[in-house]
Amino acid sequence: MRDYGAKGDGKTLDTTAVQAAIDACAAERGGTVLIPAGDFVVGTVELKSNVTLHLAAAGRLLGSGNPADYSAGKGVPPGNGNVVMLYAVNADNVTIEGPGTVDGQGNLFYTGHGDNTGPGGNRAAGYVNRPHLLIFYRCANLRIHDVFLTRSAYHCMRVLECHFVQLEGIRIHNRVNLNNDGFHLNSNEYVHISNCDVMCQDDACALFGSNRFVTVRHQLHIQHPLVHLPLGRRAGGEYRHLQLRHLRYLRLRDQDALWRRVAH
């Protein structure tokens, strides 16, 4: 990463260097891009096919606090906003792994306004021009495991029309802005979510559209609904072959204190 000019000092904008490392890896038909120890500030970064992004234990990707450093993901549909920090479109074999952190610093985008997607809300006046942490659109063989995802300005992870997705051992602490969902799934097939700890301001796991062959098991969800399943017109599709097993839901007064004790 530093070979491409990344500073990792928590101040310098490293978007260009991080993207250059990913592009070079993809050009060599794939491999692993290491985020080493350091605080690498980025805006919008595109992940590519056959590339693994590995975050070292002391490695952090920090979202820039400047809206100008972000853009809509190329090819990502605009529904619920498409401004994003890390994304992939029509990519195969994308992996994010390791004990490091992806921190969106979403508190810097707080305005007190949400996206107005609830019943009776005026969606035209909703606050959607803020970056999601992760978006994956029409990807196949997507794997994310063991990382810590935190402080998104909007949804933490949006998985849209993807196939063969494995989300395992992920920790999410997403409570610095409104509409801070954990996992947001829309019209996917063969999705397996397991052994994740999710603490968020909004839905821990929301399913919309036509999701098929989805398994959610061995989850610890704190604060908001474990799995949000809208019915009827709000769903926008149909569900088939959903399996929810061994889910644990905690509602505690001092959730942040608990998280600091058990998750770090």
Q: In the prediction, which pLDDT does 255 show?
A: 47
Q: In the prediction, which pLDDT does 244 show?
A: 64
**Is 116 within the bounds of a domain?**
no
**Is 121 within the bounds of a domain?**
no
In tens, the pLDDT along 232-252 reads 344 455 656 667 665 555 554
Which range marks the domain in which residue 59 is found? Answer: 2-75+83-111+129-262
CA of 210: how far to CAs of 100, 140, 178, 220, in Å? 33, 17, 25, 25
**Is 118 within the bounds of a domain?**
no
Number of domains in the chain: 1
**Is 66 within the bounds of a domain?**
yes
Q: Are 44 and 85 in contact (CB under 8 A)?
A: yes
Residue 43 has pLDDT above 60, yes or no: yes
**Is 122 within the bounds of a domain?**
no
Which residues are paired to 74 by β-bridges? none
Q: Six-digit token pair at 70?
A: 């972000």
Phi-psi region of 218 (alpha: psi -120 to 50; beta: other; left: phi over 0): left
Of residues 226 and 58, which shows the higher confidence score?
Answer: 58
> Does the predicted TM-score (pTM) go above 0.75?
yes
CA of 35: how far to CAs of 40, 55, 59, in Å? 8, 5, 6
The CATH number of the domain holding residue 140 is: 2.160.20.10
In tens, the pLDDT along 7-34 reads 999 999 999 999 999 999 999 999 999 9
Q: In the prediction, which pLDDT does 97 show?
A: 98
Q: In the prediction, which pLDDT does 159 show?
A: 97
**Is 254 within the bounds of a domain?**
yes
Residue entry with tokens 């906003």: 81
Nearest to 90 by CA among 21, 160, 145: 160
In tens, the pLDDT along 89-118 reads 999 999 999 999 999 999 999 988 878 776
**Is 36 within the bounds of a domain?**
yes
In tens, the pLDDT along 207-219 reads 888 888 888 876 6
Q: Are 216 and 188 in contact (CB under 8 A)?
A: no
